[in-house]
């Protein structure tokens, strides 16, 4: 049986724009599971859709990358862990949204609880999506890629994570 690919674990954290305490709490909770993040993206206003309006009217997203290489086959476990943290963020409606995923040399994969034609079922109610691909030395979106990803605002961070992955797999 072939070993699962080794990847860089990342997580996107969507939180109310005026609540740095909630962001710090979320990072602390994730750090307990996966270690202190080695790099952070810039915070980006999440204003291209109102899909997560139940969290707050004004949201921002930041991505974090965790140290080391991880087994890609654990993506569903990472999503379940993120769901548990979201549930702890507030009684009733969650106060944050956490999207774990991974980057390797060719792609950005994100986990989701929602099925769609472009997602594949992994297990335990979790789907995986190839959100972006690395091609011709740049990140490229698909017709289904979320608008904020397709805009390129995360490309610098994703490229930095990809470089880390390349360095670590060559060791």
Yes or no: domain 6-169 corresponds to CATH 3.30.70: yes
15 and 22 Cβ atoms separated by less than 8 Å: yes
Both tokens of 1, joined, read: 């049986």
pLDDT for the residue numbered 126? 98
pLDDT for the residue numbered 169? 94
Percent of all residues in the chain with a pLDDT value above 90, rounded to a whole number: 82
Q: Which of 75, 109, 104 is nearest to 162 (CA)?
A: 104
pLDDT 10s digits, 126-148: 999 999 999 999 999 999 999 99
pLDDT for the residue numbered 22? 92
pLDDT for the residue numbered 54? 73
Domain boundaries, the chain: 6-169
pLDDT for the residue numbered 136? 97
pLDDT for the residue numbered 46? 82
> What is the mean pLDDT for each group of 10 consecutive residues in the chain (171 residues)?
90 92 95 98 82 78 98 98 93 84 98 96 97 97 94 97 96 79
pLDDT for the residue numbered 50? 65
128 and 122 Cβ atoms separated by less than 8 Å: yes
H or E element, residue 85: helix 75-88
pLDDT for the residue numbered 47? 79
Q: Which of 111, 103, 59, 56 is nearest to 83 (CA)?
A: 111
Q: Which residue pairs, CB below 8 angstroms and at least 24 apart, start in 135-143?
A: 139/108, 142/118
């Amino acid at each position: 049986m072939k070993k699962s690919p080794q990847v860089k674990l990342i997580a996107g954290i969507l939180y109310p724009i005026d609540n740095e305490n909630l962001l710090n709490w979320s990072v602390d909770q994730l750090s307990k599971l996966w270690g202190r993040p080695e790099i952070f993206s810039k915070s980006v206003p999440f204003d291209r859709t109102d899909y997560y309006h139940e969290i707050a009217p004004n949201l921002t997203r930041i991505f974090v990358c965790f140290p080391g290489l991880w087994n890609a086959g654990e993506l569903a476990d990472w999503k379940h862990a993120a769901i548990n943290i979201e549930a702890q963020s507030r009684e009733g409606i969650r106060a944050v949204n956490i999207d774990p995923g991974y980057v390797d040399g060719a792609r950005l994969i994100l986990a989701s609880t929602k099925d769609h034609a472009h997602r594949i079922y992994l297990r335990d109610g979790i789907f995986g999506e190839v959100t972006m691909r690395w091609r011709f030395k740049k990140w490229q979106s698909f017709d289904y890629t979320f608008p904020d990803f397709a805009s390129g605002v995360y490309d610098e961070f994703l490229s930095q994570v990809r470089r880390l992955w390349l360095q670590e797999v060559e060791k």
